[in-house]
Chain A
Amino acid sequence: MNISIAAEPIFHIGSFPVTNTILVTLVLSSIIIIASAILKSRISLVPRGFQNVVESVLEALLNLVDSVTQDRRQSKKFFPLVATIFIFVIFSNWVEVVPGLGTIGIREELHGKSVLVPFLRSGSADLNMTLALAIVSVMAAQILGIAAIGFGKYAGKFFVSPFRPPYFVGTFVGVLEIISEVAKLISFSFRLFGNIFAGEVLLMVMLFLVPYFVPLPFLFLELFVGFVQALVFSMLTLVFLKMATTEAAH
């Protein structure tokens, strides 16, 4: 049993390491894109089957976004990012319960030891992926914030003159705001990574200890955790977007 915090490269294209997570992420993205293309070609006013499922999920998400923004127009602006994060993260998380994860792979010599490099690794169990999402989310908050209230006012949240009341307190709060933007990146990426990586390790350990039936409850637990983490990630993004687009009240 080999547990590696970093995703393992399966092969290299030039100097670009193709890791198992990026492979899974690409496959997942293509599946989502193909599904959406099929859905688009079959979309009809009277929904049936797959369209029903997608619509109910999206409508629930839209209502959730509405409940945060209290404004349909703003909801529509935030919705694509929030929904994409939710869909992408939940499927990345659920990859970890796919059978064969962490067990099917190729043996490679690493540091003089023969270790198994699995083909499948949940996208969320790789810091590159979670950090990428966190960067997108935080950057989107900055961009939408500037677009919504203007560059000057948005910058005013972070850079406060120490010569106006509340003087240095305001300046200090502005510095804290900058730090908190960076902290968001870290908390976003490590929360998701930690949860899913831990879940993956847990499932693997369980599978090695008792191969039959005992891992089942953990599979359900991981499904639930995956859902919750996807919801948390998208909801936090939504809240940060909302916060960035509202003017600071002084």
Chain B
Amino acid sequence: MSELITKLGIDYKLLIAQIVNFLVLLFILYKFAYGPILAMLEKRQKKIEQGLKDAEAAGKKLAESEERQKEILRKARTEAKEIVEKAHMQAEKSKSKIAGVAKVQAEKIITDAKAEIEREKTKTISEIKSEIGSLVVAATEKVIGGKMDEEKDKELIEKSLKS
């Protein structure tokens, strides 16, 4: 057995040296390589996952806000349409109202003017009448050539006026 071991080159000193060497290597790699690298891998994985999640959330939010924007635009458009229509109606209404008022006023003005004209006319006619009377007296005086007495004069005037 011991001969076999020496033939195979197994030496307990070398064996122990190799074990120690490997354990040292294991310890150092454990401390300096695996820990940091695995932590880094995990960190990166988390970061990428977070990034993907964030991107997805951002995309969703964007689509949502776009939808909302569209909604708002649509609402604003219909509202504007309504407002314009209302304004149109209002304008139409006030137009007819104003027109009615104007018509009434105009009619009033016209009737007023007519009345005024009528009054003026009667006044003028009565003035003319008295004027004509005195004119006729003067003319008749001249024609007859002499003054008549008061009684005759009056009689004559009334007679002529009546005819």
A interface list, Cβ under 8 A from B: 4-7, 15-17, 19, 22, 25-26, 29, 32-33, 36-37, 39-40, 43, 45, 47, 54-55, 58-59, 62, 76, 79-81, 83-84, 87-88, 126-129, 131-133, 135-136
- Measured CB to CB, the nearest residue on chain B to A25 is B21
B-side interface mostly: helix
- Separation of A176 and B40 alpha carbons in the complex (Å): 44
Q: Which residues of B contact A6 (CB under 8 A)?
A: 6-9
Can you give 25 A-B contacts (C-beta < 8 A)?
Answer: A6-B6, A6-B8, A7-B9, A7-B14, A22-B17, A33-B32, A40-B36, A43-B36, A45-B40, A45-B43, A47-B44, A54-B37, A62-B38, A76-B38, A79-B38, A84-B29, A84-B30, A87-B29, A126-B9, A127-B8, A128-B9, A131-B10, A131-B18, A132-B19, A132-B21
Q: How many residues of B contact A (CB 8 A)?
A: 32
A188 → B minimal CB distance (Å)? 13
Interface centre among B22, B23, B44, B47 (most CB of A within 10 A): B22
* Bound CA–CA A76/B42 (angstroms): 12
Alpha-carbon distance A89/B47, docked complex (angstroms): 34
Q: Which residue of A is nearest B44, CB measured?
A: A45
Q: Which residues of A contact B8 (CB under 8 A)?
A: 5-6, 127
- The 9 A-B pairs with the shortest beta carbon distances in the complex, nearest first, are A6-B9, A132-B18, A36-B33, A128-B14, A132-B19, A80-B30, A84-B26, A29-B25, A40-B32
CB distance A43 to B14 under 8 Å?
no
- A71 CB to closest chain B CB (Å) equals 15
Q: Is B162 an interface residue (CB 8 A)?
A: no
